[in-house]
């Protein structure tokens, strides 16, 4: 379903730039699950992409203090100097990369960073290479901006990672960006140094291609996986790379809406032009809170990571115990992206044929009352994504129900 076909019945005519953009499948599933819950059904939702932890107390206190001292006005267009300084320090301390304050931008979530960046750089027909499965907003934003998402399938056997020859083949004179997201939403796959190196070599040979990296899940990694950001590996790419991050996932601050990025001055300036006409600046109170998040104590990150790891292990082993499901162990984030090829071609006890991953996830929702998202929503089938940022008892119950439904397929 796309917006254009839905709303035209009412006589409303949307702009052509949103005609091809679909209503997010994740939101549709969430809405259906919420409606079932309201009807009194015991629905467990494993679809949400946000940590179940609370924002740290010191961060909340910093926000209250900001309100009390009157930090309630418009701020500098793309971030307060205090927050930009905290971000520059973070990049230096955690990633070993140096950026001046005018090479840093702050926006209303990493989502707006992506929007600003594509709006500021994409002309009609420009291509953006995206390893798939991918977070669906990438392609939707690119399409709104008139660009063409070039989706390159990277299946479980490839560790859900793009390989150098795939990148080389995908590059055309129209390629504007290649976008990496490590650890990934939805697959949880991470690119370590050895995975990135050959890809960066390819980029060095194609100077017209810019590199965008989404490091949102940097702090949620497991088993000694060494997170690394490409600019730290290949400083020559710094002049054409945008490194995106944010406080949403690491500090459980999804509702505060602060994302940030570092990149070449000219790009950062162009992004500010878009932001100036969209929001004027990010929320003043949230910026003050984010200064504390980045500068304050960081030890709780490790504790939360450990809690996510226990849940990941539980989910991966429960899924792999179900005949027909095959789940790779992710390096990071809080998602599993399990294969369900072994269930396709089966029939439900009520006689419904399971031909695709969305048939399977629809059946899970209707029969097991468990909401998960089909791989097709992320551009790669047949898989389904579970978000395990949920309490352990709920997760255990959901996995019991998923198992029972799968075993009953004939």
Angle 251-254-259 from CA coordinates, rounded to 5°: 80
# residues near ligand PMP by CB under 6 A: 13
User: Looking at beta carbons only, is 79 or 246 nearer to ligand PMP?
Assistant: 246
User: Looking at beta carbons only, is 49 or 382 nearer to ligand PMP?
Assistant: 49
| Binding residue for ligand PMP, selected from 25, 29, 43, 49, defined by CB under 6 A | 49
Omega before 273 within 30 of 0, i.e. cis: no
User: Looking at beta carbons only, is 80 or 182 nearer to ligand PMP?
Assistant: 182
Q: Does 58 bind ligand PMP (CB under 6 A)?
A: no
Distance (Å, whole) CA 399 – CA 195:
32
Which tokens is 324 given? 């027909």
What distance, in Å, lies between the first and last C-alpha atoms of the chain? 31
Which tokens is 317 given? 């082993």
Which tokens is 240 given? 């054409």
- Spatial neighbors of 400 by CB under 8 A, at least 6 apart, are none
Shortest spacing between CB 233 and ligand PMP, in angstroms: 20
* CB 220 within 8 Å of CB 85: no
| Binding residue for ligand PMP, selected from 115, 135, 334, 360, defined by CB under 6 A | 135
Which tokens is 207 given? 């100077």
Q: Does 110 bind ligand PMP (CB under 6 A)?
A: yes
User: Looking at beta carbons only, is 113 or 318 nearer to ligand PMP?
Assistant: 113
Angle 243-303-294 from CA coordinates, rounded to 5°: 40
Region of 10-18, 86-94, 109-117, 348-356 interacting with ligand PMP (CB under 6 A)? 109-117
Shortest spacing between CB 181 and ligand PMP, in angstroms: 5
* CB 260 within 8 Å of CB 113: yes
| Binding residue for ligand PMP, selected from 55, 229, 248, 336, defined by CB under 6 A | 248
Q: Does 295 bind ligand PMP (CB under 6 A)?
A: no
Q: Does 364 bind ligand PMP (CB under 6 A)?
A: no
Nearest residue to 260 via CA among 41, 94, 21: 94
Q: State the residue number with the nearest CB to ligand PMP.
A: 109
* CB 179 within 8 Å of CB 128: yes
Shortest spacing between CB 127 and ligand PMP, in angstroms: 20
Region of 108-116, 187-195, 307-315, 356-364 interacting with ligand PMP (CB under 6 A)? 108-116
Given the rule CB under 6 A, which residues bind ligand PMP?
A: 49, 109-111, 135, 181, 185, 214, 216, 246, 248, 254, 259
């Amino acid at each position: 379903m796309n917006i254009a076909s839905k709303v035209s019945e009412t006589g409303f005519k949307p702009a052509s730039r949103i005609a091809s953009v679909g209503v997010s499948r994740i939101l549709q599933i969430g809405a259906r699950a919420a409606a079932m819950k309201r009807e009194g059904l015991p629905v467990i939702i494993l679809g949400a992409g946000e940590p179940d932890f609370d924002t740290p107390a010191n961060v909340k206190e910093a926000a209250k203090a900001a309100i009390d001292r009157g930090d309630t006005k418009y701020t500098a267009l793309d971030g307060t100097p205090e927050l930009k300084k905290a971000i520059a320090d973070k990049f230096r301390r955690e990633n070993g990369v140096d950026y001046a304050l005018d090479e840093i931008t702050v926006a209303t979530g990493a989502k707006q960073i992506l929007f600003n960046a594509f709006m500021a750089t994409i002309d009609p027909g420009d291509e953006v290479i995206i390893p798939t499965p991918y977070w669906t907003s990438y392609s939707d934003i690119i399409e709104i901006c008139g660009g063409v998402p070039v989706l390159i399938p990277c299946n479980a056997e490839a560790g859900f990672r793009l390989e150098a020859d795939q990148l080389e083949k995908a590059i055309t004179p129209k390629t504007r960006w290649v976008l990496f997201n490590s650890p990934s939403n939805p697959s949880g796959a991470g690119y370590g140094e050895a995975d990135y190196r050959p890809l960066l070599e390819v980029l060095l040979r194609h100077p017209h291609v810019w590199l965008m990296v989404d490091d949102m899940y940097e702090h949620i990694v497991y088993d000694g996986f060494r997170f690394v950001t490409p600019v730290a590996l290949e400083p020559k790419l710094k002049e054409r790379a945008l490194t995106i991050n944010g406080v949403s996932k690491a500090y459980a601050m999804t509702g505060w809406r602060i994302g940030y990025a570092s990149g070449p001055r000219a790009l950062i300036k162009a992004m500010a032009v878009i932001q100036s006409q969209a929001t004027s600046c990010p929320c003043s109170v949230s910026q003050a809170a984010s200064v504390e998040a980045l500068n304050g104590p960081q030890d709780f990150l490790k504790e939360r990571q450990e809690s996510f790891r226990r849940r990941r292990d539980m989910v991966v082993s429960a899924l792999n115990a179900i005949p027909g499901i095959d789940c790779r162990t992710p390096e990071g984030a809080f998602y599993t992206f399990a294969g369900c090829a072994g269930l396709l071609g089966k029939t439900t006890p009520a006689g419904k044929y399971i031909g695709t991953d969305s048939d399977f996830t629809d059946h899970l929702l209707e029969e097991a009352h468990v909401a998960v998202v089909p791989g097709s929503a992320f551009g790669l089938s047949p898989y389904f994504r579970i978000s395990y940022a949920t309490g352990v008892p709920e997760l255990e119950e959901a996995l019991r129900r998923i198992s029972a439904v799968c075993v009953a397929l004939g």
